[in-house]
Amino acid sequence: GAVVSQHPSRVICKSGTSVKIECRSLDFQATTMFWYRQFPKQSLMLMATSNEGSKATYEQGVEKDKFLINHASLTLSTLTVTSAHPEDSSFYICSAGDWKTYEQYFGPGTRLTVT
């Protein structure tokens, strides 16, 4: 099956700093990628849709100026958490869709801890 990678797997940063998370589709081209966040013992919540070559589409309640998304190529999308605060600490997961099967492939996730 298709493989999606994320980097880093874990990151700890100080409050007020910015953190960039990368999501790569390793063996297929993804015109659309998605970013989710997951709080402990809760399900995944969609944050935004990342579209290659255009602006991301954010879900209601997600601050686009805080969570910057860039999808500059067909295999890479990045999520930058700007001016991070402790409440941004979460598990962030990306996914990429295969248009042929409409199946989504998920990355292994990035654990962000803001101190």
Cβ nearer to other proteins, comparing 46 with 72: 46
The separation between CA 107 and the C-alpha centre of its own chain, rounded to angstroms, equals 9
Contact between 49 and other proteins per CB under 8 A: yes
**Cα separation, 45 vs 91, whole angstroms:** 11
Give the nearest distance from C-beta 102 to other proteins in angstroms. Answer: 6
CA angle 10, 42, 70 (to 5 degrees): 50
Q: What are phi and psi of 87, to 5 degrees?
A: -70, -10
> For other proteins, how many residues bind (rule: CB under 8 A)?
23
Binding to other proteins by residue 7, rule CB under 8 A?
no
The identity of residue 13, as a single letter, is C
Q: Is 50 in the site for other proteins (CB under 8 A)?
A: no
Residues 65-104 that bind other proteins (CB under 8 A): 91, 93, 95, 97, 101-104
Binding status of residue 53 toward other proteins by CB under 8 A: no
- How far apart CA 96 and CA 71 sit, in angstroms, is 12
What does the binding site for other proteins look like in residue numbers (CB under 8 A)?
Answer: 1, 6, 32, 34, 43-46, 49, 91, 93, 95, 97, 101-109, 111
